[in-house]
């Protein structure tokens, strides 16, 4: 990466900035997830390499500006792992994953030297909306602001659906749809489901089934847009069975 960013290196790499590269960091993360979902271990091997390139790229740009280098980043995570695992590297005891989480959170809280903030402060504004909603709801629940059970969340879901049906203006519809999505994120939390990954997999599943519908319509000599919905649904049912 030093060679690529050198004055006589690659023109494209030399032009990149933290802002221009950050979208690739996100894309590579999702490609790693795709490979895991597909159980494509050879693909995962390659995608992990692509993902590892991202911190190297960012660290190289930081080094050029005299901010830090990749060794500083690696040193920081090594120190953090040792500091937050006193039951491994120290004399503390943690018998369960829950014990470990409590120790981790306590140490993390003690590391913050700034004045206390609100419980929802510090959540990254760059997170995808579903991930942000998940973090917001989890923090609120941890503070005791939560439904008692998943059934109550389902009741709230129906309430939001009814409110959506009563909306009239585009802004009202947007607000109620947002409320509906937020309740769904909370319902996912009660079922220990990651909403971002769940939707990601649902998207992939829809694309795969839709491709089957397109293929079957073509095999039958149909023009997709002119095929009755009943026939398309029959193809869809085939895709589900497969």
Question: What's the pLDDT tens digit per position in 164-176?
Answer: 999 999 999 999 9
Tell which residue, 199, 204, 213, 203, has the closest CA to residue 241.
Answer: 213
Work out the pLDDT band at 86, boundaries 50, 70, 90: very high
Mean pLDDT of the 54-73 span: 97
pLDDT of residue 100: 92
CB 73 within 8 Å of CB 80: no
Question: Measured between alpha carbons, how far is residue 171 from residues 159, 164, 209 in Å?
Answer: 18, 11, 33
The answer to whether 169 touches 117, Cβ cutoff 8 Å, is no
Using the predicted structure, report yes or no on whether residue 112 has a pLDDT greater than 90.
no
Instruction: Supply the angle between the helices 170-190 and 150-165 in degrees, to the nearest 10.
Output: 170
Neighbours of 197 (CB within 10 A): 16
Q: How far is CA 177 from the centre of its chain?
A: 20
Average pLDDT, the chain: 93
Q: Using CA atoms, how far apart are residues 219 and 10, in angstroms rounded to an integer? A: 47
Task: Report d(CA 183, CA 177) in Å as an integer.
Answer: 10
* Close Cβ partners of 31 (under 8 Å, ≥ 6 residues apart): 47, 50, 51
Q: How confident is the model at residue 124 (pLDDT cuts 50, 70, 90)?
A: confident
Contacts of 181 (CB under 8 A, 6+ apart): 129, 130, 133
Q: What is the pLDDT of residue 108?
A: 83
The predicted structure's pLDDT at residue 119: 86
CA dihedral 121, 104, 54, 16 (to 10 degrees): 30
What is this structure's pTM?
0.67
């Amino acid at each position: 990466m030093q060679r690529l960013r050198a004055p006589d290196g690659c023109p494209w790499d030399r032009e990149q900035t933290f802002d221009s590269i950050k979208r690739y960091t996100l894309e590579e993360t999702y490609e790693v997830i795709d490979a895991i979902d597909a159980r494509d271990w050879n693909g995962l091997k390659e995608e992990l390499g692509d993902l590892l390139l991202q911190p190297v790229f960012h660290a190289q740009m930081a080094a050029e500006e005299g901010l830090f280098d990749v060794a500083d980043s690696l040193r920081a995570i090594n120190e953090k792992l040792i500091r937050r695992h006193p039951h491994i590297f120290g004399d503390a005891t943690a018998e369960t994953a829950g014990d470990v989480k409590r120790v981790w959170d306590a140490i993390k809280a003690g590391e913050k030297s700034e004045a206390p903030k609100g419980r929802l402060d510090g959540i990254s504004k760059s997170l995808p909306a579903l991930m942000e909603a998940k973090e917001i709801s989890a923090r609120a629940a941890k503070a005791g602001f939560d439904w008692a059970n998943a059934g109550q969340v389902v009741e709230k879901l129906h309430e939001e659906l009814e409110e959506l049906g009563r909306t009239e203006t585009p802004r009202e519809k947007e607000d109620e749809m947002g409320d509906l999505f937020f309740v769904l994120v909370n319902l996912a939390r009660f079922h220990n489901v990651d909403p971002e990954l769940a939707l990601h997999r649902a998207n992939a599943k829809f694309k795969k089934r839709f491709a089957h519908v397109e293929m079957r319509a073509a095999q039958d000599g149909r023009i997709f847009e002119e095929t009755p919905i009943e026939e398309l649904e029959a193809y869809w049912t085939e895709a589900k069975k497969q």
